[in-house]
Amino acid sequence: MPTLDDILEHIGEFDLYQKRAFFVLCLLSAAFTPIYVGIVFLGFIPEHHCRSPGVAQLSNRCDWSLEEELNYTLPNGDTFTSQCKRYDVDWNATELSCINPLDFPTTYRNRSSIPLTACQDGWLYDFPGSSIVTEFNLVCEDAWKLDLFQSCVNVGFFVGSISIGYMADRCLPESPRWLIAQQENDKALKIIKRIAKGNRKKLPPSMQDLQSEEEMGDKPIPLFLDLVRTPQIRKHTLILMYSWFTSSVLYQGLIMHMGIGGGNIYLDFFYSALVEFPAAFILILTVDRIGRRHPWAAANLAAGAACLITALVPEDLYWLKMTAACIGRMGITMCYEMICLVNAELYPTFLRNLGVLVCSSMCDIGGIITPFIVYRLADVWHELPLVVFAVIGLIDGGLVLLLPETKGKALPETIEDAENMHRQGRPKEKNYISPCSNLRCGN
């Protein structure tokens, strides 16, 4: 009796039908790009300071340059003070001079003793365009609302993936392998025939006799407890959950941190986005030659080290700082692609969909907290988020080495198969898992 691998080899494992489905899924995935990276442009935070009534009129009367106006009217101190506080001074007072206007006779001994007040009349932004920050003044005491804005997006992803994510998969052609494991052989045969027709192949009668339901025994029902019941699958689940979390935090975090870097945001984003192409190319070259585990660990270590280098390089070495940041994004892009592949390969057939669903939900958890890591820690030290990213990435680089290598091994079909994957397994019989395997692309 032919196996499913024999049938797929005959009708085409990655032929016209699968390529068409894969292309459609890629187009659907492209729609999410503005959601993830749009915050860089929509939430751009330009240089800003308090609007003080009367300053503009005094500046015009005294013919000050912008530099002189800021030097005379902004309080000295840290960034928060200069951006979120203003002198409690009546700038419309006629006795103010054009040279050191704050030196007029008062009860204050010096400029540092003049009381400060909050920005009651709004802010002025050194930016010709607009963003949600400038439109709604999401700075200073209201800066946390920008974090909440992006976090709410990922909360939506998390709730959607848990509540309707599993059901949404049913809109795509289901996996014959999964259907056979669920004892739905008639449905599996229909999809196999559809794949054969799409690939312009004929399915001979000898390959239409799938294993009967009576021979299969009781069909397994996936349970959340199955993800942690046995030692090896429990280890896989915990490491994969952390890896999804790491990939999300570093990928989104590096993009958000670039938005507050102070350089040309458009060129910086363009340069860093270009490295995703070589990341995919390197993955294609290594995944079936070297394996999954070592390139994955190397990509994590490269991303973590690049984040640390970016944090420690001084601002005057901009080219080195930008190069390290691009390497970091290339490394974490490879990690993102690799975990989509490996996650599905480590679970038995009946548990595969649930395993990917649960583990990938940590991606959304990471996305929820990433804005707070980037924007709040940057207020303490601009490069502190990168140090946090480095630690998270380096830890993940070590953890993925504890996972079994899946190159050259058949997909596990039972709990026992998955538990024995760390041992030398039987050769893989040309199984194909696409980078979007959690969407069950026609296999």
Query: What digits encode the pLDDT tens for the residues 396-443?
Result: 999 999 999 988 888 898 899 999 988 754 444 444 334 343 333 333
- C-alpha span between 23 and 18 (Å, rounded): 9
> Residue 24: pLDDT band by 50, 70, 90 thresholds?
confident
Read off the pLDDT of residues 311-363 as tens digits, 9 standing for 90 and up.
999 988 888 998 999 999 999 999 998 998 899 999 998 898 889 989 999 99
13 vs 431: CA distance, rounded Å: 8
**φ and ψ of 138, to 5 deg:** -85, 60
State yes or no: pLDDT of 41 exceeds 70.
Answer: yes
Report pTM: 0.81
Provide the percentage of residues in the chain whose pLDDT is more than 70: 88
Q: Is the pLDDT of residue 214 over 60?
A: no
Q: Which amino acid is at 406?
A: T
Q: Residue 257 burial by CB count (10 A; 0-12/13-18/19+): exposed, middle or buried?
A: buried
Helix, strand, coil percentages in the chain from 3-state DSSP, rounded to 5: 65, 5, 35
Q: How confident is the model at residue 135 (pLDDT cuts 50, 70, 90)?
A: very high
Q: How many CA atoms lie within 13 A of 330 on its CB side?
A: 23
Mean pLDDT of the chain: 84
Q: CA-to-CA distance for 390 and 300, rounded, in angstroms?
A: 9
Instruction: Say whether pLDDT at 67 is over 80.
Output: yes
